[in-house]
Amino acid sequence: MWQCNECWFAYNAWWARCCDVCRSGRPPHAPVTLASRDVLDGPHNNTRPTNQSSEASGSSKVEMSREPKKLTVPIASLDHDLNSDELLFAVDSTPAPPAPVVTWSCTRCTLVNESTAAACAACAGSRPQPHNFWSCSSCTLQNPLSANLCLACKTPPVPKHGLTVPTSESNQGASGRSPSPRRGRNTPALPRRGSRHKTPPPEPKYVNLRPEPSEWPCSECTYVNNVSVACCDMCQSPRARLLPAAPDQASLDDDDSPEGSDGERQESTPMEILRLSEESHAWTQWQEVLAQCASTGEPYVDSSFPASARSLYYSGGAEAGAAARWLRPHQIHVEADHRLPWVVFRDPRPSDISQGVLGNCWLLSALAVLAERSALVRGAVVRGEPALGAYQLRLCKDGRWLTVTVDDLLPANKKGHLVYSQAKRKQLWVPLIEKAVAKLHGCYEALVSGRAIEGLCTLTGAPCESVSLQAGGAGGAGGGAPLEQLDRDLVWAQLLSSRQACFLMGASCGGGNMKVDEEEYQRLGLRPRHAYSVLDVAELSAGGAAPTRLLRLRNPWGHYTWRGAWAAGCARWTPAARAALTQHHHDKDQGVFWISFDDVLKYFDCIDICKVRVGWHEVRLAGILPPMSSTRHLTCLLLTASQPTEVDFTLFQEGQRNSEKSQRSQLDLCVVVFRTKSGPNAQVGKLVAHSKRQVRGFVGCHKMLEKGFYLVVCLAFNHWHTGLEAAGRGAWPRHVLAAHSSKPLAVARPALHPHLLADAIIGLTLARGQRHEGRQGMTAYYLTKGWAGLVVMVENRHTDKWIHVKCDCQESYNVVSTRGELKTIDSVPPLHRQVIIVLTQLEGSGGFSIAHRLTHRLAAGARLQDWAPHNSHSEDEPRHRPPLARRLYGLHAPRLIT
């Protein structure tokens, strides 16, 4: 055979005048590549007579007077390409050529220099060092050779010829040759592939061509450590190990993840890389949608969210309603210009949003705030095909990023008008986002009522914070406890810093528990129970007087405009003030106005802040909130910060809108962060940060963490003693913990000791609770501020005395106790602390009251004696009433003072 000089095809018959692939003419001195078929059978057959070769190829008999040339035939793997130079079969008829001269090319002037030269002979540029990294094929990051995965996007490296190859290919020369691009063609020059085995060959075994690294470089001091050590021998920095990324991030959906996964580590991922990865996973589903439309020749119809009553209501009944039919955009009747085509976006503005008959102003208010930056709204729509009526949107439901595929069939009335939300100027972004959110939660009815901060979190996935503008705030003490005073300067500082960070902000007007005078709000041009976009926060200095604090707001609906102080025609607008505040703003829209901070505190109940950032990292982990003190199911995370970093923690409860409002049960969520040490068992150290405990869909906290190890504990108590403990783990509420950080973080699920929950509550109460001294050697701690309930903890510092404690909370209402009763009696041993009781607000929408009375006495022994009469049928003297069940022992058992 001979080799073509044009396409390098090496299987042309030696008598052929042109290439069998590209039809190029045979060159006069074409290199011979194969003398006989037997060459492929192994080197031990290369001396067979030539007549066997010609007979095998079906050609005429050719006499060869001289000895056949010795051939060097490399073994080809399935990952090679025939166009590669490594596959060219060269005839070795001459002595081995001299070794090629090794040279190197200068990166500055491209001069080719001698191998012995340390610098370029022309420009004196230094000799380039050999590559000690590999470039990621997904994000192009240059990673060290010791990294098995990309440090940014966790993509495995792609070597020249694949990561794994079958070991059976090492014997390829004995049974066949490298595949040919023309093997499907019946050509005499290509002998049929055969096997010399009478039995099928064994299954190929795969081996990893990349050896396991024996060393790892420290990310702090670059010291190269042995692979067996977990911390740097030089600076003691922890090693940041990577886990293989699951194809579809199944770690969130793994039911066994809260248990049996001790020691697993996962690294936070840059948000931009995470989005690209998730969009690539959703591409497969998108291709199925396109294939379905191509096979049917019809527009896309989403069978998982059909155009029926099941997608409208929880019950799925066919009761008569405003939505009589489902229409495509070209079938919808609108008052806009009929010549204007339907598009997804046409310069989206907050004033484009129109609410329908559905009471989902929380979502539309969040959309209006988001529309202040059109790029964020456009980012919610991943891809779309208007001709097929198919769209993909990326939303964050209960802390999970999900890509949703929907069609453009929208609910309409008999006249062809949309009955739910819509966008002006024949845009589809508002009804499409509304439909995608409805699909996530099961139906359109699930969108009724909510808070704007939930909508901001759903649309952006960013950490969100609600700043209360009223005394007491969210999660106040309740009952007869004094309301928490509002720190006006602190609130103003938060608004200023959020404005400087370019966060999204929305102000809730007259919501929450505020008493609203409808006539007064209407006279001043405000709409209660609606969200306003916060466009600017500024201080106006006037002479030597204190600066005036002002906010610039937008009413998305535009019909009502503020008529109070600092309104458009107010006399307070001096030329100097107008020049200072309006030089960068041209308020042509009717709904934009300036208002004083004092009036905001008077007529608005809170400001929601959405911390949209660029370049941050995030990691999200799922878990269970057990209705007992089970460390086997309790979610605790060991967080490793290899460098100082800013972190936002957010704890979400899953599935709140998947059932009717009367059947929903919101939990009292709280996330607490402690210092800890790296070791086999996580220990609670100093309190670092914690959220308020609130009966909400999610809570969060923000902290600047130093380099080190931290323990993150997720808490909830108001579902204890509700029967869930007997229902099985499948019925227990689930949560998602999201951590957004300015620097990379590593998280793992550590092994937990049985009393970690008690240590966490004791540590939190010692740091944040109110201390009340009793008798000498006895201290009671009460945690009520920002706790949506009460925690009572008693400390016994006596070395030889017990303390009997009686706690009576029977006059409280709308609270639930972790002890199962509102009156408890306990015996606290010497040098011990005990969490006596944890009371929690049962329902977030209603008020609650807590009344507690604590009585204690010293005793020489553990027996409660007359406080708890001895049961003659029981051999053990009671030390706790009600008795501590095994499932409560991890929270209420006495703990030694350390």
The residues assigned a catalytic role are 361, 530, 555
CB 619 within 8 A of CB 269: yes
Q: Are 93 and 192 in contact (CB under 8 A)?
A: no
Rounded CA gap, 459 and 362, in Å? 12
Q: Is the peptide bond before 31 cis (omega within 30 degrees of 0)?
A: no
Quick count: other Cβ atoms within 10 Å of Cβ 333? 12
What's the token pair of residue 477? 């003490």
Which tokens hold the place of 124?
């004196």
Task: Tokens for 300, please give them.
Answer: 């896309």
Q: How far is residue 682's CA from residue 713's CA, in Å, rounded to a whole number? A: 11
Q: Where are the beta strands (DSSP E) in 643-773?
A: 645-653, 668-676, 687-690, 694-695, 698-705, 708-715, 734-741, 745-748, 770-773
* Contact indicator for 291, 385 with CB cutoff of 8 Å: no
Closest CA to 810 of 781, 852, 769, 774: 852
Closest to 70 measured CA to CA, from 89, 98, 54? 89
C-alpha distances (whole Å) from 777 to each of 569, 764, 772, 827, 828 are: 67, 21, 12, 15, 12
Query: CA torsion, points 870, 875, 879, 885, in degrees to nearest 10?
Result: -120
List the Cα angle 751/650/785 in 5-degree steps: 95
Q: Measuring CA to CA, which residue among 684, 694, 689, 651 is closest to residue 673?
A: 689
Please state, in angstroms and rounded to a whole number, the distance separating the CA atoms of residues 125 and 118: 9
Q: State the alpha helices, DSSP H only, in 13-162.
A: 50-57
> Cβ distance 456 to 464 under 8 Å?
yes
**d(Cα 216, Cα 333) in Å, to the nearest integer?**
65
| Cα→Cα distances 652→260, 358, 690, 809, 863, Å | 22, 25, 15, 30, 43
Q: Decide if 872 contacts 819 (C-beta within 8 A).
A: no
Structural tokens at position 192: 């049929």
